[in-house]
Structure 1
């Protein structure tokens, strides 16, 4: 495992970073992504479409935003991410179009996809996790399959027991909805690049694996 602390961000649950976009799952790039693969060069850029007829996209785009097609990042963020070990994740150029699917929007961004997924969460050692199992009406309901982040996330609220990461710098845990985990070095690079306010990093409680 890489030296240093491990950090978690709740940025993917930030509703202010959602922009209404849509995709066509019949297009080659999206068929490839549905198979769990990175799109081929001839399938790029990945096409993204406005969700509504009156969308003009006159406001400034955030450096990271969500919506149909997953996570989109600016060229500046891409430049930082590409210096680190992303594991199974990939970054591919995308092109946004208006609702007519023909008029391009003058905005440069890429899609961050693939998502390296590792199950390190220790719910019983964490604080403030939210979740409602389907069987919650039973006398002794089992824990939920997927947890939600605490309402007010703080340092050491999220407990993880990571195994050897082999140099990996960013990953997701399918047991914790919307969370992004970062190595100390990637977190520091993002803070140095001016993205501390965007990601709002919180230190994880690391449980030793014996």
Structure 2
């Protein structure tokens, strides 16, 4: 419904993103080794990942350059929402569905995934989900089942995390109804906000992905 707002905590579902059987190449660097264990991220990559998680729009070169499949069996199980080195990615039916909605300042950024030879490109297409759109709509003081993060002593800014919320536990202002269909609010970690129509389209598509949707309460 147009007058509904939904929240997805799919980013907290580690099983969905665990060991997809692909590794990456950052710009100006060598290919990552074909193993599930990840190296410690550089300071720059860690910063880019944090910005991505907050819903900030990244430049193309701030994502990884490309990826390759080193474990075909694992890759064969990957659904239309996955991650490459921490960045949200989409393919298939979900990618086509998102193209039909208003992503605001966000966009789908195509990137290549190669076979084990790092030369033969998989048909794809594959995209980074470059969120780009943020709304200051989350109301922690009106919400339930939250865990508070540390408060910035200078700015007073504070982030929160929803702990297994139910419908109505997360409150948003009516301004959430305006603008993009998909966005993040920097005050709420590991959560994506969606309009009613986008939520309904995802549910109707039967993607086999547990988005952990809960309906927000509009105050």
| Alignment counterpart, residue 68 of structure 1, candidates 71, 85, 105 | 85
Aligned to 1:176: 188
Q: 1:204 and 2:213 equivalent?
A: no
Cα distance, 1:82 vs structure 2: 0.7
Deviations 1:84-114 (A, max 9, x none): 10101110222224787x3446362211114
Aligned to 2:205: 193
2:8·2:212 contact (CA, 8 Å) conserved in 1? yes
Q: Which structure: larger Rg? A: 1
Deviations 1:35-59 (A, max 9, x none): 95654xxx9xx73335xxx942322
Aligned to 1:24: 26
Q: 1:94 and 2:111 equivalent?
A: yes
1:49·1:99 contact (CA, 8 Å) conserved in 2? no
* TM norm structure 1: 0.73
Cα distance, 1:160 vs structure 2: 0.9
**Aligned equivalents of 2:7 and 2:121: distance in 1?**
32
Structure 1 residues 164 and 16, CA gap change in structure 2 (3 angstroms): closer
Aligned to 2:32: none
Cα distance, 1:166 vs structure 2: 3.9
1:156·1:205 contact (CA, 8 Å) conserved in 2? yes
**Aligned equivalents of 2:66 and 2:4: distance in 1?**
36
Query: 5 Å matches for 1:9-48?
Result: 9-18=8-17, 19=20, 21-26=23-28, 36=57, 39=60, 47-48=65-66
Gaps of 5+ in 1: 28-32, 136-141
Q: Classify the secondary structure of the residue corresponding to 2:166.
A: coil
Aligned to 2:2: 3
Aligned to 1:106: 122
Aligned to 1:139: none
Cα distance, 1:68 vs structure 2: 1.4
Structure 1 residues 69 and 14, CA gap change in structure 2 (3 angstroms): closer
**Aligned equivalents of 2:159 and 2:176: distance in 1?**
23
